[in-house]
A and B are shown apart, each in its own frame.
Chain A
Amino acid sequence: MTSPVPSATNLRAGSLPIAGLGAIDCDVHPRSPRRQDLLPYVDDYWREIFMSREIDHLELSGYPETLRPNRAAPDAGNGDAASLAKALLDPLKLDAAILNVTSGVHAIFDPYLAQVLCQATNRWLAAEWLDRDPRLRASLIVPLQHPEAAVAEIEAYAKDHRFVQVLAVVMNDKPLGQRYLWPIYEAASRHGFALNIHAGNTYRHAPTQSGFNSYLVEDFVHQTQGFANQVGSLLAEGVLAKFPEMKVVLSESGVTWMPSLMWRMSKDWRGVRIEVPWVKEMPSLLMRKQVRLTLQPFDGPSDPAQAARAIAHLGGDEMLLFSSDYPHDHRIDVAYWPANLPEELAARAARENALATYPRLEV
């Protein structure tokens, strides 16, 4: 079998092939759509805007796909559905793969432009990707800048079960638990969408509470704090309690920080829970029920025994979802189960957990 990531040196490839697991890859990145991709899905006013304002490549600077490790290799197969099948879905024998677009659309200030870009991106995903390979699924891109339009977009795709979750980037305007976003969660929950929180930053604020960092190595780590903030917000504001059927999927979040958040919130909840009496269960239990984490890139130790101990602290491996993060180059061969992750986790994480997370996902 050839490696689906040609540039990768197989530093940590295990011996268990993904092929054979009937795996569902929960985080795959198609190329971001360019202007010529989106123009067929907008009206003549917006065509005029796209042309006159030269709206074309919308790159999220907080998740730059032209830079490593997000940069795809020149011959990566994420340009179209057929190439992706050849590079990833076929060799790994995936039963399904969920496409996540993390483009600059999430950072647009103009609520109407954001709306149109989201609509066009979803239509492009449906026509150019989902229609061309029955194994493909996608995250619905919605304008959090314009909750009313976001709800309308969810309603528009309620019957198209190929869209299995609604995507938000992790570091954005405000904590995701806040009430102005609840109509989005209400619609998503009612139609069985999960909420996907994906790595990425719109730089509305400094990425740390202490100000701007200087280096990329810091930025990677700060994303983790962003995820912790969002889980805390969704819990405390009552989103998890209000929408108990909706799973929250953290993509490219890492895993090993999660147990300490669960412990700490469970402990502090005992003393200050009167502020948030709608949180009726221990936070760690609520998180275990509703929060899910994708496995690539994994932030744990390289020693398999130590990694297994770190994962065990979650208290339940139902929280973990297999993902390749293809075509992002993490220097591993995604055709094999990562060497440092326990192999006994593979069957559940690769398939069963995803089926339990996404009620809309039919395979």
Chain B
Amino acid sequence: MEADTKAKRHVVCRADEIQPGASKRVQVAGRDIAIFNVNGEYSAIGDRCPHEGASLCAGAIVGLAEADEPGEARMTRHGEFVRCPWHGWEFDLKTGKSWCDPRRTRVKKFDLAVEDATKIVEGPYKIDVFDIRQEGSYLVIDI
């Protein structure tokens, strides 16, 4: 019973499969997960937009348009959001929360780690997706 309540770690892909600015959808334990690489930093959120179900993975990685005054718009937080490809709703890549309605409109955020290949081979992880080579880094998701 104890084992079932613990998060399971899943190796989902090689880190270099997702170049900076790119994204990839993976399926882990029956879930569609969108993984983004923003300037070498990876994040993983649920792939299905809670609005109409579009794949967020296909959305643009964007910053936040902000304005203190009408007519004085500027971009901030570059690369921290994905904009849904269908209707433009924005989701914070770090938290999965939508910008417009963070409390109620959100996708799940997953813990993602970049692990060295050697560590993965040696570690007690469930490796159910890929052959692990002995070099490079892999993305590991806790579910």
Contact = CB atoms under 8 A, between A and B. Distances in A.
Question: Are A and B subunits of one complex?
Answer: yes
Interface of A: 179, 237-238, 241-242, 269-274, 277-278, 282
Interface stretch (B11-19, B20-28, B64-72): B64-72
Contacts of B105: 270
A140 to B, nearest CB: 25
Interface residues of B, number: 19
Provide the main secondary structure of the chain B interface. loop
A120 to B, nearest CB: 34
Given A270-B88, A270-B89, A271-B89, A278 B70 contact: yes
Given A238-B70, A282-B101, 7 more contacts: A179-B71, A237-B70, A270-B51, A270-B89, A270-B90, A272-B88, A282-B100
Given A270-B98, A282-B100, A282-B101, A277 B66 contact: yes
B73 interface: yes
A270 B100 contact: yes
Interface string B52-96: 000000000000011111111100000000001001111000000
A270 B70 contact: no
Interface string B96-107: 001011000100
Contacts, number: 40
A339 B45 CA distance: 53
Nearest to B51: A270
B114 to A, nearest CB: 31
A274 B68 CA distance: 13
A228 to B, nearest CB: 21
Nearest to A238: B70
Contacts of B73: 277-278
Contacts of B84: 271
A179 B69 CA distance: 13
Contacts of B90: 270
Contacts of B100: 269-270, 273, 282
A269 B69 CA distance: 17
Contact of B65 (A241, A269, A271, A277): A277
Nearest to A241: B70
A75 to B, nearest CB: 50
Contacts of A277: 65-67, 73
Contact of A242 (B66, B70, B87, B89): B70
B89 A278 contact: no
Contact of B71 (A238, A269, A271, A274): A238
Contacts of B66: 277
The 5 closest A-B pairs by CB, nearest first: A238-B70, A271-B88, A274-B65, A277-B67, A278-B67
